[in-house]
Amino acid sequence: MSSDVLQPTETNRRVKTEIAAAVAIACVLALAVALPALRLRTGLREQVLLREGQVLQAVVAMQYAVETAEMESLGLVAADVDDFTTMLKTARLPGVIGVRLFNRRDSTQDVFPPELNEGALTAADWDALGSLTPVVRMHADYPLAELILTVDQRGTAELIEVIVPLPARGDAQRAAQFWIAGTGIAAELARQDRALIALAAIVWIAGTCVALGIQSIASRKLRRANAELRRRGDDLSRANQELALAAKVSAVGVVAAHLIHGLKNPLQGLRGLAVEQKRASGNGDGKAAWADAAAMTGRLQAMVDDVTALLTDEASGIQFRVTCEEMMQVVTKRTGDIRNSTGVEMTWTSVKGLEFDNRLAALVGLIVSNLVTNACEASKPGAGVHVEILRKRGMIEIAVSDRGCGIPSPKRERLFLPAASTKPHGSGIGLAVSRNLAQHIQATLELEETGPAGTVFVLRIPVSEEVKQP
């Protein structure tokens, strides 16, 4: 599975986390908008009520000014202005239900209309009035029975209580309490609340959209960063595995070099002995066995000669070009014995005019020879092995396919590890050495497909100066 593809459980966990984060953001923003909106609502309501009190206080002051002017025109003084008469004239204003006059010094009060109950002002009210500030209160459901003496009054009403200070006379603090129908003010406050709720909703929706947009962008970038980290972790893990494999194969290479050095002369003697015994046997029963021994030792000697030639070319530093046809002729010669013994035919096709550097051609030839040998051993007598050399997407691809029964699934994961052969008597180092050789030339060797119809290995070589394209 690719590192940037999420498992279903991880995807579900991520979706749940993002939903929870979105809900948390929406709740926090709702709280952040609601608290200031409530404070703003309280402030606006106080301003509206204070406005009503200030207007009524101005009307009372104007009425006192008119009464004082009339008294002075009659040769009287301002002290002769009757408070109750003045308040009665003020009570003619629309919406005024009743008025009470309070004198703090002797606790007397006058009421109008007569049905209005007597009441009382608190010390806090008198203190506020002392600063010439009206006291205004909104009563949403005020019991009418507590305000009016009439026994048939039932229910509640929206009322505004406005207490305004009156001009002081001597040391007596006086005030007038007006009870006003609050239907109009209540409607105004309701409109104000609806506008404030709409504004708060717009701010909350806009803020939530912006926050969720930022969260989405940040989450997407974080997912990309996590995917990149996973990809790099996978690359590092593969690199560590390849380094370990290279170390193992390098150790195998050292052992192989010692074996080649020690086996070269004994193999030559054994092959000569096998050939001599084959001749000496005539047509006896031992002739076939000695013939097989001679073929086997010949094959081993050819392999030793190939490796020796490769090491010689590396040491000499001589460079020349090798055509694809010449390389495949060498592969055909190297695999002749195994093809003859297994009865498998090999065919190959290639693009025209493809040439390799001699060093690259030698290594590629070894890899292809090993793949063809494995394909012949995996195929049934009379089957065919095909080598196809193509150019794809800036790469040279060499595909070796057989018509065997495929590689069992449990063995595919360890296919390129040493000592992981799928053949009964295999050593398990052929594919490991081949992949190591491929990595040495910056190429890749992979199992492309396998199954009952056969197996395909592909060697992909990057195009460089060592490869001349047609």
Summarised one tens digit per residue, pLDDT across range 117-130 is 888 888 899 988 88
The per-residue pLDDT of the chain, averaged, comes to 80
Query: 109 pairs with which residues across the strands?
Result: 102
pLDDT in tens, 316-345: 556 788 899 999 999 998 888 888 888 999
pLDDT in tens, 363-407: 899 899 989 988 998 888 888 999 999 988 888 999 999 988 888
In Å, how far are 8, 216, 218, 219 from 12, measured between CA atoms? Answer: 6, 16, 18, 15
Which has more confidence, 373 or 429?
A: 373
Neighbours of 318 (CB within 10 A): 10
**Nearest in space to 371 (alpha carbons), one of 426, 431, 433, 444:** 431
End-to-end CA distance of the chain: 37
**Nearest in space to 29 (alpha carbons), one of 218, 200, 217, 270:** 200
Distance CA 421, CA 377 (A): 12
61 pLDDT tier (thresholds 50, 70, 90):
confident
Structure tokens at 66: 């008119």
φ, ψ for residue 121, nearest 5 deg: -105, 145
pLDDT in tens, 143-161: 887 887 765 656 788 899 9
- Whether residue 437 contacts residue 417, with contact meaning beta carbons closer than 8 Å, is answered with no
In Å, how far are 23, 288, 357, 409 from 207, measured between CA atoms? Answer: 13, 91, 66, 56
Structure tokens at 88: 């009665």
pTM of the model: 0.45
- Per-residue confidence (pLDDT) for residue 5, from 0 to 100: 45
